[in-house]
Amino acid sequence: MGTRRYILSKVLQALLTLAFVMVFNFFLFRVIPGDPAALLLRGTAAFNPENVERVTHELGLDKPLPQQFLVYAQDTFTLNFGDSFFLKGQDVKTVIADRIWPTLLLVATSTLASAALGLLIGIYSGWRHGSRFDVGAQGFTLFVYSMPEFWFGILVLMAFAGGIGPFPSLFPAGGYATPGADLSGLGHAADVLNHLALPWFVLVVAYMGEYSLIMRNSLIDVMNDDFVMTARAKGVREKQILWRHVVPNAMLPTFTVVLLSLGFIFGGAITVEYVFSYPGLGLLTVQAIDSKDFPLLQGLFLLFSAAVIIANLVADILYSQLDPRVRAG
Amino acid sequence: MRPPEALPTWEEGPPVGTELEPGPPPEVPRNPRQIAWTRRRASWGRIWRTYRKNTLGMIGLAVLILFALVAIFAPLLASKEGLKATCPCNGIPFSPPSLNYPLGTDNYGRSVLTLTIWGTRVSLTVGLFATAISMFIGSFIGIVAGYRGGVSESVLMRFTDWFLVIPFLPLAIVLASVLSPSLGVIIVVIGITSWPSTARIVRAQVLTVKTRPYVERSRALGASGWHLNTRHILPNVGPLIFANTILTVAIAILSESTLAFLGLGDPLSTSWGTTLQNAFSSGAAYAGQWWWIVPPGLAIVFVVLAFTLCGFALDEILNPKLRQR
Amino acid sequence: MSILSVRDLEVTYATQAGPVPAVRGVSFDIDKGEVLGLAGESGCGKSTIVNAILRLLPAGAITSGEVLLNGEDVLAMKGGRLRAVRWTGASVVFQGAMHALNPVQRIGDQLAEAIVIHKLSAEKEAILRAGDLLEKVGLPPRRLRDYPHELSGGQKQRVMIAMALTCSPSVIIADEPTTALDVMVQAQVLGLLHELQHEMGLAMLFITHDLSVLVEVCDRLAIMYAGKIVEEGRSGPVFEKPAHPYTEALAAAFPAIGDPRFRKSPSGLGGDPPQPDSIPSGCSFHPRCPVAFDECPTTIPDLYEAGEGRRAACLLVPQRAQVAT
């Protein structure tokens, strides 16, 4: 069937891209100007020629490049990224695994909310394009788009956690849960949600606008198609025309774009987690930057890239199932 | 000399007994290059006249000019000494806005106003240079891919797609942390991570232009690839690249501020991003020191907004797909 | 009483350049079982009339006059009544080969939709009825499960015809139903329409720019030019002995093999039909008219009697009549 071949080719492409990322990741830390080992030790007390040589040998950097790559590939497949510098004694795999859940929670909930809100606003904006709502929504989107997410995050932090002027201090100043509090079940969930609220809010507002704009434009295009006229001539009510004819057709291209923009949400998560001290992969990344923890950075980079590649793959496959024109092959 | 309207049309046949008097020779351009330039100047004029009608685009342009002036005349607006932590001109650290320090002071007592004014230079410079790199790479790859077609096109486009998939910030972080922090590094990092979308747009446009009759005719006359690309394809792809450039600068400025905020910026230079980073790590958010946080951020917002408005306005005029709507 | 009676219909579009008159006073009647053909070049207003009848014009279009469907004025109907009358009183066969069908909905669902919303049947029976209609137009009922892109142009047009029949309307408006089709398929679709119309005794308004098609299918013809009807009468006589110079030119553009009239030179009318925003004064046809005389640019002709059941809006008609008496 056409679909199976389509899915297979998409999976293959995804694997190829993943392979490319792996190779890229490898060369990133080996083929940089200067000595990698020296780079690692620079700025630490242990920076002397003997240590550099020892580290070089430890990391296998004195072996020929192709051999290094084989070791690297092997390591990657077994998810062995070496030890983290920053958290001595723990390997990268564990470090990442420990922090993955908060980020998953944050990114998943904020993507869902911003997509849902953005799409609804986009639908209404497009259906009533030119109206005050539309103009207002577009203006708002433009403004938010020009704002760095971290700055918006700081403002929100300042207003609602620190409390300033008329803004009340409603939310905790960061973290995942109240430290020391021994809560379980609903109490714990509520505590987590309380801490999640502000970073979630920042991400939702930051990305909602983009989705609404895409949906709006898609909707306007579809609105002017001939089959909408046919439906109207048949006597279908305007509301039904919108939801049964226009939106399903407008949703298709929007849907792909929504999933494709997942990469940007990860970027946003990094800065937002940092601002709110939210202990996920984003904060971990910033900590890794600070301590020049290259194994950790490598692992994180691979993880982020893999997540986006998989998201794209899922988007492609889902789209092929939703659009009957693609399904037929 | 007869005015042109009185000249007979062919339907009546050439007049018998009257000779066509030659009028003064019209302004004949002397060579094809002149013809092309006259035409091009006329079309740029048309573009400007259409642009002028776009209110938002004009506002964006005005704001941009304002910021450019601030960047150029920074030394006249605020003393460069004010950027040093040990300047005697500094006031009490962490103080809110006052007469002497209209935007308050930072943790070193430096005037936030001075920091914001001087930050304009760095942010704009990084934005423009990074975009230049990105546009150059992107356009080159886009044109080569579009023009050559075949295997080169597929390989280049595959490569572009791979780059597009990799999430921007993690990639930039990884690159920037591997290299030692400096302005040049930031510029290069942003430049080499933003070219893919340009490459795609350029290639699509090249494909449209490539099949136009005048290009085929030129090729039939024996034009070389270089000639076709520089004389025909580039001028037609150029405007689109230009509109895209403006939008890319906006993104580059945002990227610079984000990277600086995360600690990957040049510690020796003052940009809006590094100012905000300093503010945040000094706990300004919790302390409610809004005067330190709001101005640099607002500056970013206004500059990016201005570039975006200009870019949209230009895109509307130059993008063939949008023009049809 | 006529099934469809249009009286002094005027439609003005609101454009950026000001109001533009697309239909400038059109009147016609269609009786039960009768087929009226409406012909004219692009821009003469025929499609506007189609949209005006069921009030499908874009917002901002101003309509005046009367459209009496089974005695009721459509232009005066309130929302609910209008929606009820759409498709049950009059239905439209759009150009299905284009995008007149929803790409993501199955054919059966689209056919059944009209039946269900007009409460003629519940959903299950509606699908069955849709299957019957498909058979009537020559398509197998299994096609109900197909999506539009799985059908050919001709098949899609048949589906549009079936769709128009779903609510047993009194009059069917066929808006260029064969324009985008190959000639062979055109013939099939025309034959189908003819057959169905005869069998069900439907009144039909057939719109096209193709005069040769009209003569076959229609009982009467109305020729439109620049928003007005310029000639109307029984189709045979109108085509063979046109009373209006425009009709003559249109008819001459479709040469008949063997007819000596066409042997010498292909005839076509020079010039273009006028844009709705710049309609010539007096008789709007005078700039292109081969027999125009001095009164034509200054006098607007009425539809004068030009024979039995014939009328034409040409100043020559009353002149000829005078000469004859």
Q: Please name the residue that has the structure tokens 């795609």.
A: B200
A121 CB-near residues (< 8 Å, 6+ apart): A137, A208, A212, A215, A216
Instruction: Give the Cα separation of A46 and B90 in Å (integer).
Output: 38
* Least CB–CB distance from C83: residue in A225, A237, A328: A237
| CA-to-CA dists, residue C240 to B178, C212, C236, angstroms | 86, 11, 6
Contact C104 A236 (CB under 8 A): no
Average pLDDT, chain A: 80
Q: Are B291 and B97 in contact (CB under 8 A)?
A: yes
**Residue C199: partners with Cβ closer than 8 Å, 6 or more residues away:** none
Residue A179 vs residue B212, higher pLDDT: B212
Give the closest-approach CA distance of C315 to chain A in angstroms. 39
Q: Which of B116, B156, B166, B292 to mutate to test the interface with A (most CBs of A within 10 A)?
A: B166
- Residue among C287, B309, B166 at smallest CA distance from A263: B166
Q: Mean pLDDT throughout A270-274?
A: 92
- Identify the bridge partners of residue C72 per DSSP, sorted by sequence position: C69
What torsion, rounded to 10 degrees, do the Cα atoms B112, B118, B120, B123 define? -100
Q: Flag if C56 and A229 touch (Cβ within 8 Å).
A: yes
Average pLDDT, stretch A46-66? 67
Burial class of residue C141 (count of CB atoms within 10 Å of its CB; 0-12, 13-18, 19+): middle
> Which chains contact A through at least 3 pairs of Cβ atoms less than 8 Å apart?
B, C
Q: pLDDT, tens digit, for every residue of B135-186? A: 999 988 888 888 777 888 888 888 888 888 888 888 888 888 877 778 888 8
A231 to chain C, any CB pair closer than 8 A? The answer is yes
**Residue B222 confidence (pLDDT) above 70:** yes
* Cα distance between residue A301 and residue A76, in whole Å: 12
Axis crossing angle, helix A262-275 with helix A186-223, rounded to the nearest 10: 140
Looking at residue A295, what is its pLDDT? 77
Cβ neighbours of C98 in A, within 8 Å: 226
Give the best residue of B169, B246, B305 to mutate against chain A (max A CB count within 10 A). B169
pLDDT, tens digit, 9 for 90 and up, residues B2-60: 333 444 344 444 444 444 455 555 566 567 777 777 877 777 787 788 888 888 889 99
A146, A259, A265, best to mutate vs chain B, most B CBs in 10 Å: A146
What interface predicted TM-score (ipTM) does this complex get? Answer: 0.85
Neighbour subunits, C (≥3 Cβ pairs < 8 A) = A
Q: What is the pLDDT of residue B19?
A: 43
Shortest Cα distance from B41 to chain A (angstroms)? 33
Q: Do B167 and A304 touch (CB under 8 A)?
A: yes
Q: Which of B158, B177, B292 to mutate to test the interface with A (most CBs of A within 10 A)?
A: B177
Residue A274 has what DSSP assignment?
H
Q: Is A236 on the interface with C (CB under 8 A)?
A: yes
- Enumerate the residues of chain C whose CB falls inside 8 A of the CB of residue A253: none
Cα–Cα distance between C268 and C255 in angstroms, integer? 11
pLDDT tens, C95-129?
767 789 998 899 999 999 999 998 888 888 899 99
pLDDT > 90 fraction of chain B, expressed in percent and rounded: 19
Beta-bridge mates of residue C224: C229
Pick the closest to residue B278 from A287, A154, A266 (CA basis).
Answer: A154
The Cα C275–Cα C277 span in angstroms is: 5
Q: In DSSP terms, which residues pair with C311 in a beta bridge?
A: C232, C305
Q: A319: distance to nearest CA of chain B, Å?
A: 17
Q: Does residue B182 belong to the interface with chain A, where contact is any CB pair within 8 Å? A: no
As a whole number, mean pLDDT of residues C131-142 equals 91
In sequence order, the 6+-apart residues with CB closer than 8 A to the CB of C58 are C13
Residues 252-281 of A with CB under 8 A from C: 252
Mean pLDDT of the C241-268 span: 70
Tens-digit pLDDT profile for residues C191-248: 888 888 888 888 999 998 777 778 778 889 999 988 889 899 998 888 888 888 888 8
Q: Please give, rounded to a whole number of angstroms, the shortest distance from the CA of A310 to a CA of chain B.
A: 10
Q: Round to whole Å and give the CA distance between A203 and A151.
A: 12
C163 vs A contacts (CB less than 8 Å): 230, 234
CA distance B308 to chain A (A): 8
User: Are C102 and C117 spatial neighbours (Cβ–Cβ below 8 Å)?
Assistant: no
Q: How close C281 comes to chain A (CA, Å)?
A: 34
SS (H, E, C) chain B: CCCHHHCCCHHHCCCCCCCCCCCCCCCCCCCHHHHHHHHHHHHHHHHHHHHHCCHHHHHHHHHHHHHHHHHHCHHHHCCHHHHCCCCCCCCCCCCCCCCCCCCCECCCCCEHHHHHHHHHHHHHHHHHHHHHHHHHHHHHHHHHHHHHCHHHHHHHHHHHHHHHHCCHHHHHHHHHHHCCCCHHHHHHHHHHHCHHHHHHHHHHHHHHHHCCHHHHHHHHCCCCHHHHHHHHHHHHHHHHHHHHHHHHHHHHHHHHHHHHHCCCCCCCCCCHHHHHHHHHHCCHHHHCCHHHHHHHHHHHHHHHHHHHHHHHHHHHHHCHHHHCC
Cβ <8 Å between B280 and A155: no
Res C111: pLDDT: 92
Give the number of beta-carbon pairs within 8 Å between A and C: 72
pLDDT band for position A166 (50/70/90)? Answer: low
- Can chain A be said to touch chain C, i.e. do they have 3 or more Cβ pairs within 8 angstroms? yes
Assess whether pLDDT exceeds 50 at residue A203: yes
Query: Do the chains contact at A294 and B178, CB–CB below 8 Å?
Result: yes
State phi, psi for C35 to the nearest 5 degrees: -115, 120
Residue C214 CA: distances (Å) to CA of C224, C236, C246: 13, 10, 16
Burial profile A81-95: b = 16 or more Cβ within 10 angstroms, e = fewer? bbbbbbbeeebbbeb
- In chain B, residues 148-177 whose CB comes closer than 8 Å to chain A: 161-162, 165-171, 173-175, 177
**Can you tell me the distance from the alpha carbon of A252 to that of B6, in angstroms, rounded to the nearest whole number?**
60
Q: Are B303 and B123 in contact (CB under 8 A)?
A: yes
